[in-house]
Structure 1
Amino acid sequence: MENECLSQLSYDFGKLFENGENYDTIIQTGNGNNRKEIKVHSLILYARSSYFRTALSKNWVNREGGIIKFKKPNISPKIFNYILKYLYTGKLDFNGYKPIDLILILVAADEMNITGIVKYLLQYLVDNHQNILQNDPVNILQNILHHEVCSQLREYCLDYICERPNLLFNSEKYLSLDKSLLLALLDRKDLFMDEIEVWNYLIKWSIAQTSIIHNIENLTNWTSDDFNLLKEVISEFIPLIRWLSISSTEFIQYVIPFKKILPENLIEEITCYYNNSKPKLSLPNLPARKEPLDSILINQKHLSIISNWIDDKVSEDIDCIMIPYTFKLLFRATRDGFNNEKFHELCDNKGAIFVVISLPNSSNLIGGYNPLDWKPKFDKRHGNNWWKTSKSFLFSFTKNTSKGVISRISRVNSLKSDKAILYNEQFGPGFGGGPDLVLSNNQLYCKSHSTYPDSQSFISAGLTKMENYEIDEMDPSDLFSYRDFTINKA
């Protein structure tokens, strides 16, 4: 009954806002051709908002013919209308609004200290940051760049862009990126791009900031003034380039043509490096960036957790930069087929690997780590072949990492480690003597949790249809080798 009454009250106030009957206030929003007057009721705004209690007070109010006139030209009519509707009805509905509109609503609501909108809309945008970046990442990033209320959202968006930089740099709009935003991106160690790509995109962006109209492919027509203009724009970015991650061939082809914009001693220092000398670089010797992760199921946070489990570290200690392993995708079911034979063709005798599984209608991923080769112990005709190890484990974690990663692990029962890994050419990857987890074509099967007892909290007994699964090969990474520092080789 109470909810019905509140719903009716919200509806009635909403109709009052729509028809504007008995209004006593006109709010002038927007400017130019996008200017609109909205008729409202000062009593409702006064009761619902501390901002309007001040703005409509006797000391500030401006009346014309008995009507309060209030101007807010920096907020568009569409955005202001949403905020006013919330103040009248107490309802929030984000459906039907473009991501950029929601961000403008957030910024405007924060400016007017309307915490009810800020709290829920900010959480909504954080939870959906991956989706809102898909169509217009440049515009989204530009609009959240300088607003403090967007700081949390900004970090999530930058993390996502660093993992998928092509989303940003394949857009023609990237040429209009704010300089401070591009500086922030290139300063990050987790920007997963080849360094020569970073350089080439930087050159194109820098030229777009000048009046240079010559062809970048032919520099013979460039004047000294052209190079000086480019040098002035690009100078702040030079220390952010990982120069030693660029091969000698790439350096000669793409960098040397622009040597006039580089510090004089840089060419000599890098040439010494290519000649196997150990130059003392005048610029910071920054760690190499990572290569993009070839996965549609997991991200760097998941990899960091798996790496910590392998090394018996605390799983909550997430460091997406210093992951001590390289990962190479061997198998993806939606690409290679839900086929046991194909799994063995691509994954047998590859060394340590891990499996990640996505199930329909589930917010979690499950999987397992095998530190051994996947191969038969005896003749393949013997059916089940079990391998002994105490280092394997089964795991589960959340797909969406925007609220952090909820992770669980089940290690081997020490009394049953002789059946930790199951090999059978008739099936896909298998774990435990139950079996605790075995994949076959597009199905997952668990009979019991005997070898990995804690897995009962995240793996259900019986048959389950799979949505997708991936298998990655992993090897120790040389964190101290500058040129060869990679992750997730595609």
Structure 2
Amino acid sequence: KNILCYRSPYLRRILTSDKKNNDGVLTHIKLPNISPEIFQTILEYIYGGILSLNEHNSSDFLKILAVADNLHLQELINYLQKYLIENKSEWIVQNFGFTQQISSKSKNLLELQEFCTNLMAQSPEKFLLSFNFTSLSEKSLISLIKRDDLQMKEIEVWEHVLKWGLAQNPTLILDPETWSDDDFETMKNTLQNCLPLIRFFSLSPKEFSQKVRPYQKLLNRQLYEDLVDSFVDPDSKPNENTLLPRNIKIERIIDSKIVNNLSIVKTISRQIDKINIRNNFAHLKESYKFELLLRGSRDGFTPKKFHELCDNKPNTVTFIKIKGKEEIIGGYNPLIWKSYGKWGETKDSFIFSFKNNDVKDSIISNVRD
């Protein structure tokens, strides 16, 4: 008894409380949801300070960790978290949902929670699809979407938050056009701690119009008006507390052997949206994500191959590296490419030149009337 009391604050509280029968024998202590095998391992640790990890598979480590957490065995909690992260990271990746579920239920498994959050932040498309994302606790969701290094487009963050909110309110219909004022209020209360973490000012006009405007009743009225002003009033200014765009790695934005400067990609993106660099909100806009269609060094430079891979694709950007010079030239075409038929007409296309891999020496030429 003395050893149990000394080693486990949880057992100490139970064993030292007044739980004696008339015959002086302690009442039976129930520890639900703990298998005999796992509890035997815990007892060996409590009495002997020994943990035989080789006798258990990786899933048992999490079960032992969960029991150690219940019994407040802090030394064992710290050791197992470190052991799992340093020696079983691949297993955690393969069993992410189970690991995340166990760690998120505790206030003590902070290292494991942080490890799981890091995995989701760096590879969201992999881990958010590997388990039921909507089962995340609000705390876990907030710890993820507040991160500056979350590698997701902001519109994707917004869509995931909405999906999570709908899962917490299964009676709500997916289409916000059908929602009553009470429905909006319910959803607003559910997302009250998440909404301030969405970087709405990073969205493009199209994303805002199609994906946010239908849910405008969820937003603070002043925030919504400021968002509208950011698109229509060039003289409006962002609030000093406005969150900056997330730090998305360039390789997640563009797969290019020519462009390796994120500033160039941002400049092209702003030009596509016709955002003047002097616009007070220009620095808040995130870049478009570019999908590679053709790479000359891989696919060749023949007209036939170009049209095979690029025909019928609108909104394309071409980057060309000048041989022997530190200069990138190219252009943007909002229309689809065709290998036959008439010429297309648009005033939204432009050509550009970037020297020394820098936007300071850039030239951008638009179509003029």
TM-score w.r.t. structure 1 length?
0.46
Question: In percent, how many aligned pairs have the same letter?
Answer: 25
Question: Residue 253 of structure 1 aligns with which residue?
Answer: 210
Shift of 1:59: 7.8
Residue 53 and residue 100 in structure 1: after superposition, are their counterparts in 2 closer, same or farther (change >3 A)? closer
Question: Residue 475 of structure 1 aligns with which residue?
Answer: 261
Aligned with 2:119: secondary structure?
helix
Residue 99 and residue 196 in structure 1: after superposition, are their counterparts in 2 closer, same or farther (change >3 A)? farther
Shift of 1:242: 0.9
Shift of 1:215: 3.5
- Please say if residues 195 and 242 of structure 1, whose CA atoms lie closer than 8 Å, have aligned partners that are also in contact: yes
Q: Distance in 1 between matches of 2:161 and 2:85?
A: 29
Q: Distance in 2 between matches of 1:96 and 1:472?
A: 52
1:197 paired to 2:156: yes
Q: Distance in 2 between matches of 1:274 and 1:56?
A: 62
Question: Residue 164 of structure 1 aligns with which residue?
Answer: 123
Superposition pairs of residues 384-403 of structure 1, within 5 angstroms: none
Residue 57 and residue 285 in structure 1: after superposition, are their counterparts in 2 closer, same or farther (change >3 A)? closer
Aligned with 1:287: secondary structure?
coil
Q: 2:35 aligns with which of 72, 77, 94?
A: 77
Residue 46 and residue 150 in structure 1: after superposition, are their counterparts in 2 closer, same or farther (change >3 A)? closer
Question: Residue 238 of structure 1 aligns with which residue?
Answer: 195
1:224 paired to 2:181: yes
Shift of 1:258: 1.4
Q: Distance in 2 between matches of 1:62 and 1:479?
A: 73
Question: Residue 382 of structure 1 aligns with which residue?
Answer: none
Shift of 1:192: 0.8
Greater strand fraction, Structure 1 or Structure 2: 1
Shift of 1:182: 1.0
Question: Residue 100 of structure 2 aligns with which residue?
Answer: 141
Shift of 1:70: 4.4
Gap regions ≥5 residues in structure 1: 1-42, 293-326, 333-470
Corresponding letter in the other structure for 2:227: I
Corresponding letter in the other structure for 2:185: N
Question: Residue 229 of structure 2 aligns with which residue?
Answer: 272
Question: Residue 28 of structure 1 aligns with which residue?
Answer: none
Question: Residue 165 of structure 2 aligns with which residue?
Answer: 206
Gap regions ≥5 residues in structure 2: 268-283, 293-369
- Please say if residues 137 and 168 of structure 1, whose CA atoms lie closer than 8 Å, have aligned partners that are also in contact: yes
Aligned with 2:115: secondary structure?
helix
Q: 2:113 aligns with which of 154, 168, 186?
A: 154
Question: Residue 388 of structure 1 aligns with which residue?
Answer: none
Q: 1:184 aligns with which of 143, 148, 163?
A: 143
Q: CA RMSD in A?
A: 4.2
Q: Distance in 2 between matches of 1:267 and 1:117?
A: 49
Question: Residue 7 of structure 1 aligns with which residue?
Answer: none
TM-score w.r.t. structure 2 length?
0.59
Q: Could you give the per-residue CA deviations for residues 214-241 of structure 1, whole angstroms, max 9, x where no partner exists?
A: 243xx44333332222222223322111
- Please say if residues 66 and 102 of structure 2, whose CA atoms lie closer than 8 Å, have aligned partners that are also in contact: no
The higher relative CO (CA closer than 8 Å, separation ≥ 6) is in 1
- Please say if residues 86 and 92 of structure 1, whose CA atoms lie closer than 8 Å, have aligned partners that are also in contact: yes
1:109 paired to 2:68: yes
Count residues in correspondence.
272
- Please say if residues 187 and 218 of structure 2, whose CA atoms lie closer than 8 Å, have aligned partners that are also in contact: yes
- Please say if residues 187 and 240 of structure 1, whose CA atoms lie closer than 8 Å, have aligned partners that are also in contact: yes
Superposition pairs of residues 33-52 of structure 1, within 5 angstroms: 49=7
Question: Residue 25 of structure 1 aligns with which residue?
Answer: none
